[in-house]
């Protein structure tokens, strides 16, 4: 797979993990992929932004090792939707984290007492974690920095980032993102559950997605499943398309597939979702897919 290491013309989006909740290395999910969330944005001036650090992050950063990351010269920004396992479990196994000289900035919001760093330190507590802990000073490889998001707008090199909190039923809020680079916009809204199932109720979602060239959106559930899944903190593919319609997006990638969703079901759902689209081109995100905007 070719990653595209920072582009001067356009943004390349590569899907490395599209599955929600838990990795599914199983036959019925083999085509769309079983790795948990990770999407790489290769932006201008060589800026690399990883959306989430699920199991896909392990393989994405292994791919970077062939280039600057292998020499300890890579600079990566990691944006976390939240700290659920499926969004962070690839970080400790990432080979580029063990190479001194690499610099990784983790952006996100605290999800429990003490903040983002403490949350991730709990993850790499040696009782659970079989590998050395690069968050602490001993054994360090990469330099890891933390950016606890307080100001909703910030810049990463030439990329303007907007991050707002998204509703998740009665659960802790989650961070949604909008990235703007050279007049191109990518919006990333995952692990979101709208009040009354209506994306129109969330001004944050509308603001992040407005006019995006690509909206990557949570599509964990089928519309018929959602009644029984209130407060699970996810959306349906229908809500993803509705937001794409309302916000005037050019493309909508259905993302964060339920671990039980089979490849055949995803094929069928893509056809149904496309029928509902008024404007955007709708597709199911698949591991290995690279898109040039």
Partner 1 sequence: MELTFWGVRGSFPVARPHARRFGGNTPCVQVTAEGNHVVIDAGTGIRRLGQRLLSQGCPRELTLLISHPHWDHIQGFPYFEPAYEPEIEISIFSILRDEDKLETLFSGQQHVAFFPTPLEQLPSKVRFLELEEGRPQDVAGFQILTHRLNHPGVSSGYRLERDGLVLAYVCDVAPSRDVLLADPRPGVSEEAFLQELFENQVRLAEGADLVIYDTFFTPAEYAERRHWGHSTLEDGLEICRLAGADHLFMFHHNPERRDEELAILYEEARRMGESQGLNVHVACEGQTWKLERGGLTACE
Residues in contact with partner 1 by CB under 8 A are 19, 21-27, 29-30, 33-35, 55, 58-59, 83-85, 89-90, 93, 111-112, 119, 122-123, 125-130, 171-172, 232-233, 259, 287
Angle subtended at Cα 28 by Cα 234 and Cα 21, rounded to the nearest 5 degrees: 25
Q: How many residues bind Zn ion (CB under 5 A)?
A: 5
Query: Using CB under 5 A, which residues numbered 130 to 159 contact Zn ion?
Result: 130
Tell me which H or E stretch contains 57: helix 55-64
Q: How far is the CB of 157 from Zn ion (least distance, A)?
A: 27
Residue from the set 86, 213, 242, 258 that interacts with Zn ion by CB under 5 A: 86
What is the strand order of the sheet 184-189 is part of? 153-156, 159-166, 174-181, 184-189, 214-218, 251-255, 281-284
In the complex with partner 1, the residue whose CB is nearer, 63 or 242, is: 63
Q: Where are the beta strands (DSSP E) in the chain?
A: 12-17, 38-42, 48-51, 75-79, 103-108, 143-148, 153-156, 159-166, 174-181, 184-189, 214-218, 251-255, 281-284, 290-292
Residue 35 interface partner, choices partner 1, Zn ion, none, CB cut-off 5-8 Å depending on type: partner 1
Residue nearest to Zn ion (CB): 84
In the complex with Zn ion, the residue whose CB is nearer, 191 or 193, is: 191
DSSP3 helix / strand / coil % (the chain, rounded to 5)? 25, 30, 45
Alpha-carbon dihedral of residues 21, 22, 26, 31, nearest 10 degrees? 50
In the complex with partner 1, the residue whose CB is nearer, 242 or 258, is: 258
Task: Count the Cβ atoms, other than its own, within 10 Å of residue 7.
Answer: 19
Note whether 74 binds Zn ion by CB under 5 A: no
Residue 151 interface partner, choices Zn ion, partner 1, none, CB cut-off 5-8 Å depending on type: none
In the complex with Zn ion, the residue whose CB is nearer, 7 or 84, is: 84
Q: What is the DSSP letter of 204?
A: H
Residue 143 interface partner, choices Zn ion, partner 1, none, CB cut-off 5-8 Å depending on type: none
> In this structure, what are the phi and psi dihedrals at residue 286, rounded to the nearest 5 degrees?
-130, 135
Number of helices (H), then strands (E), in the chain: 6, 14
Question: Strand, coil or helix: what is 103?
Answer: strand
The one segment of 7-15, 71-79, 126-134, 137-145 that binds Zn ion by CB under 5 A? 126-134
Find tokens 């899907």 and name the residue: 15
Query: Using CB under 5 A, which residues numbered 228 to 287 contact Zn ion?
Result: none
Q: How far is the CB of 21 from partner 1 (least distance, A)?
A: 7
Q: How far is the CB of 130 from partner 1 (least distance, A)?
A: 5
Query: Using CB under 5 A, which residues numbered 20 to 39 contact Zn ion?
Result: 20
Q: How far is the CB of 25 from partner 1 (least distance, A)?
A: 3
Note whether 191 binds Zn ion by CB under 5 A: yes
Residue 126 interface partner, choices Zn ion, partner 1, none, CB cut-off 5-8 Å depending on type: partner 1
The one segment of 26-34, 38-46, 80-88, 262-270 that binds Zn ion by CB under 5 A? 80-88
Distances (CA, A) of 214 to 41, 47, 138, 251, 265: 11, 18, 41, 5, 23
Residues that bind Zn ion (CB under 5 A): 20, 84, 86, 130, 191
């Amino acid at each position: 797979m070719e990653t595209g290491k920072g582009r001067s013309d356009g943004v390349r989006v590569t899907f490395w993990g599209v599955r929600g909740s838990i990795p599914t290395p199983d036959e019925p999910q083999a085509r769309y992929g079983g790795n948990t969330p990770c999407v790489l944005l290769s932006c201008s001036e060589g800026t690399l932004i990883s959306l989430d650090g699920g199991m896909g992050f392990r393989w994405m950063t292994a791919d970077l090792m062939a280039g600057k990351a292998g020499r300890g010269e890579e600079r990566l920004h990691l944006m976390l939707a939240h700290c659920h396992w499926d969004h962070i479990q690839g970080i400790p196994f990432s080979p580029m984290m063990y190479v001194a000289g690499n610099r990784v900035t983790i952006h996100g919001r605290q999800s429990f007492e003490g903040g983002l760093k403490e949350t991730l330190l709990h993850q790499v507590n040696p009782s659970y974690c079989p590998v050395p802990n690069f968050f602490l000073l001993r054994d360090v490889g990469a330099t890891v920095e933390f950016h606890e998001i307080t100001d909703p707008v910030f810049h990463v090199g030439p990329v303007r980032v907007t991050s707002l909190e998204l509703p998740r039923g009665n659960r802790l809020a989650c961070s949604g993102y909008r990235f703007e680079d050279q007049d191109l916009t990518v919006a990333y809204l995952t692990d979101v559950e709208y009040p009354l199932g209506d994306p129109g109720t969330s001004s944050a979602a509308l603001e992040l997605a407005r006019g995006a060239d690509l909206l990557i959106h949570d599509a964990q559930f089928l519309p018929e499943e959602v009644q029984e899944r209130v407060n699970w903190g996810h959306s349906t593919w229908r809500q993803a398309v509705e937001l794409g319609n309302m916000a005037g997006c050019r493309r909508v990638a259905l993302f964060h597939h339920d671990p039980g969703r089979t490849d055949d079901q995803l094929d069928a759902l893509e056809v149904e979702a496309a029928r509902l689209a008024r404007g955007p081109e709708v597709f199911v995100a698949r591991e290995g897919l690279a898109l040039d905007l």
